[in-house]
Structure 1
Amino acid sequence: MRIIVYGSLRRKQGNSHWMTNAQWLGDHQIEGFELYNLGHYPGVVEGEGSVYCEVYRIDASTLGELDALRTRNGEYKRQLIQTPYGSAWLYVYQRSIKGLTRIPSGDWLQREDLPKDE
């Protein structure tokens, strides 16, 4: 099975350790979604933009761990979408985006609050 990640689960990000046993398949830009800054991690919702993502092959154990991390308290719901690498699960944010900051680039690594190199 495959999963598509767009924020803290991406390579070299704060939660990338959850992807240790995953096989990176490639990068992908998903259309019809918008990325919002939730603080320490982002949320994606259906919308007019595009979002930069990474696609991975994972096993059932890893999916179970990610479900426990992402779907608790109803914050995210998994949605199956098509990628050039085959269908992949995407965690879609389920709460209100009112008052949240949209990341216009669609890339978590290009958000405005990202610390700049000096």
Structure 2
Amino acid sequence: MRIIVYGSLRREQGNSHWMTNGQWLGDHVIDGYELYSLGHYPGVIKGMGKVYCEVYRIDATMLAELDALRSKGGEYKRELTSTPYGSAWLYVYQHSMAGRKRIVSGDWLQRDKES
């Protein structure tokens, strides 16, 4: 199975160690989503933008670990989306983004460059 990561789980980010046992397949841009800062990590919601991501092949154990990390408190819900590498799971934020900063570039790695 595959998973899309777009923030702190990306390479060289604070939580990238969670992806150590995954196989990086490549970069990807998903359309129809917007990226927001939730502080030290981001969330995506459906919208009119694009989001820069990485796609990984993972096993069921790793998916369960990521579910525990991302699904606590109902913050995120997984949904299946298409990538050039096949269908992949994407964690979509489930709460309001009111008052949150949108990362207009869609790239978490560029968040500090936006004013």
Same-fold status (TM-score > 0.5)? yes
Of all paired residues, the percent bearing the same amino acid is 75
Partner of 1:102: 102
Please list every run of at least 4 consecutive aligned residues from structure 1 whose deviation after the TM superposition is greater than 2 angstroms.
Answer: none
Change (3 A) 1:17 1:85: same
Secondary structure, counterpart of 1:8 in structure 2: coil
TM-score relative to the length of structure 2: 0.97
What pairs up with 1:69-108 in 2 under 5 angstroms?
Answer: 69-108=69-108
TM-score relative to the length of structure 1: 0.94
- Measure the CA separation in 2 of the matches of 1:12 and 1:65: 19
Question: Deviation of residue 60 (structure 1)?
Answer: 0.4
Query: In the comparison of the two structures, how many residue pairs are matched?
Result: 114
Q: Which letter does structure 2 place at the counterpart of 1:65?
A: E
- Measure the CA separation in 1 of the matches of 2:85 and 2:20: 19
Q: Which letter does structure 2 place at the counterpart of 1:112?
A: D
CA RMSD of aligned residues (A): 1.1
What pairs up with 1:58-73 in 2 under 5 angstroms?
Answer: 58-73=58-73
Q: Which letter does structure 2 place at the counterpart of 1:45?
A: I
- Measure the CA separation in 1 of the matches of 2:99 and 2:13: 25
- Measure the CA separation in 1 of the matches of 2:103 and 2:20: 27
Partner of 1:6: 6
